[in-house]
Amino acid sequence: METQLSNGPTCNNTAHGSNAINNCSSPIDSGNTEDSKTNLIVNYLPQSMTQEELKSLFGSIGEIESCKLVRDKITGQSLGYGFVNYVDPKDAEKAINTLNGLRLQTKTIKVSYARPSSASIRDANLYVSGLPKTMTQKELEQLFSQYGRIITSRILVDQVTGVGFIRFDKRIEAEEAIKGLNGQKPPAATEPITVKFANNPSQKTNQAILSQLYHSPNRRYPAPLAQQAQRFRLDNLLNMAYGVKRFPPMTIDGMTSLAGINIPGHAGTGWCIFVYNLAPDADESILWQMFGPFGAVTNVKVIRDFNTNKCKGFGFVTMTNYDEAAMAIASLNGYRLGDRVLQVSFKTNKTHKA
């Protein structure tokens, strides 16, 4: 029997009230991840994100050994998480540093080392209801932590009665928590709580879904449509998270990039893209986010003022493949980021015309 009450990586999750960014210690420093140094699990992915987009985003960090978006076996719908296995452990660490907490659409993605796959860690998620409305996430964890290591916790907001989730590291820990806490009154509570296993969405293959599938069998987009769909998804991705809105194509003047001027931007290591009109508080993550979905991004840089450390209004992105860089430019030039309209072009060597 395994010891469950080790004081190991204690999960002191701070309740941000945000979308369940649950920093159980630092994923970088957890120290007990000897078989997880390259394999990452990515949680809270937007529903619309495809495996290709996942691969593009994480492939911009470094070479990927494998990448898998987990989908419902029946419907094919994304289950909102996936795995990215890097060749180099350093890239895995860099991905955590760079992409954990990134906002995509309505989600804030979580990037952390994957635990070794095992049946013992499956179905360890609990649904808790009847909680005091005043209970915080931290208090919820304190209540449950006596039964094992908590992987994630959440209290739903806007609930009449307190509803929350607790995911344990091991299913057996969840079972013990049900035995110990279901029907019990937490300290200072007036009503008992209900603790049960959370519904497993992958088992929710009801007749309606099957019926839908039956009436639209294996619909596939032809290739050009697939590209349009990709673009549409990107629009959506960029839209809600950062208030990025697409402008009509002709609103950008000074757009000397796509008219077939010089073949600029080629810099040996890839295609260098100039991004102009960034906000003073812009950082690298927004560049990764905007360009990553288009393909291999090898580097991003925000140019900052030496003294204030504020962005000077522009930055650079290096992409490996010309086609992907051109698509990124075509799509992102003219985007409104906050209250600014971006100008995106291949980098030129001249700052003024001769």
User: Residues interacting with DNA, by CB under 7 A?
Assistant: 19-20, 22, 24, 39, 41, 43-44, 66, 68, 70, 79-81, 83, 110, 112, 114-117, 121-122, 124-125, 127, 129, 151-152, 154, 156, 159, 161, 163, 165, 167, 196, 198-201
Q: How far is the CB of 317 from DNA (least distance, A)?
A: 29
CB of 105 or CB of 331, closer to DNA: 105
Which phi and psi angles does 193 have, rounded to 5°? -100, 160
From the list 151, 156, 152, the residue with the least C-alpha distance to 129 is: 156
Cα gap 191→227, rounded to integer Å: 54
Q: How many CA atoms lie within 13 A of 220 on its CB side?
A: 3
H/E segment holding residue 10: none
Tokens of 233: 């998804």
Q: Which of helix, strand or coil describes residue 326?
A: helix
In this structure, are residues 342 and 331 in contact, taking their beta carbons and an 8 Å threshold? no
| CA dist., res. 171 & res. 183, Å (int) | 19
- SS3 string, 75-104, reads CCCEEEEEEEEECCHHHHHHHHHHHCCCEE
Closer of 25 and 285 to DNA (Cβ)? 25
Nearer to DNA, 185 or 196 (CB): 196
Shortest Å distance, C-beta 284 to DNA: 24
Pick the closer one to DNA by CB: 35 or 323.
35
CB of 156 to DNA, least distance (A): 5
The C-alpha atoms of residue 329 and residue 123 are separated, in whole angstroms, by 44
CB of 16 to DNA, least distance (A): 13
Q: Which is nearer to DNA, 36 or 289 (CB)?
A: 36
Is 130 or 338 the residue whose CB approaches DNA more closely?
A: 130
Report the nearest approach of DNA to the CB of residue 120 (Å): 10
Q: Are 5 and 88 in contact (CB under 8 A)?
A: no
The encoded tokens of residue 32 equal: 């007990």
Question: Minimal distance in Å, beta carbon 110 to DNA?
Answer: 6
- Strand partners for 155: 164
Are the CB atoms for 255 and 330 separated by under 8 Å? no
What would the DSSP string read from start to end of 142-190? HHHGGGS-EEEEEE-SS-SSEEEEEEESSHHHHHHHHHHHTTPPPTT-S
Which residue number, 62 or 107, has a Cβ lying nearer to DNA? 107
Q: What are phi and psi of 154, to 5 degrees?
A: -160, 140
Pick 43 or 289: Cβ nearer DNA: 43
Helices and strands counted in the chain (H then E): 8, 17
Q: Which is nearer to DNA, 111 or 332 (CB)?
A: 111
Minimum distance, C-beta of residue 171 to DNA, in the bound complex (Å): 9
- Smallest distance, DNA to C-beta of residue 282, A: 27
Whole-angstrom distance, CA of residue 56 vs CA of residue 273: 17
CB of 181 to DNA, least distance (A): 15
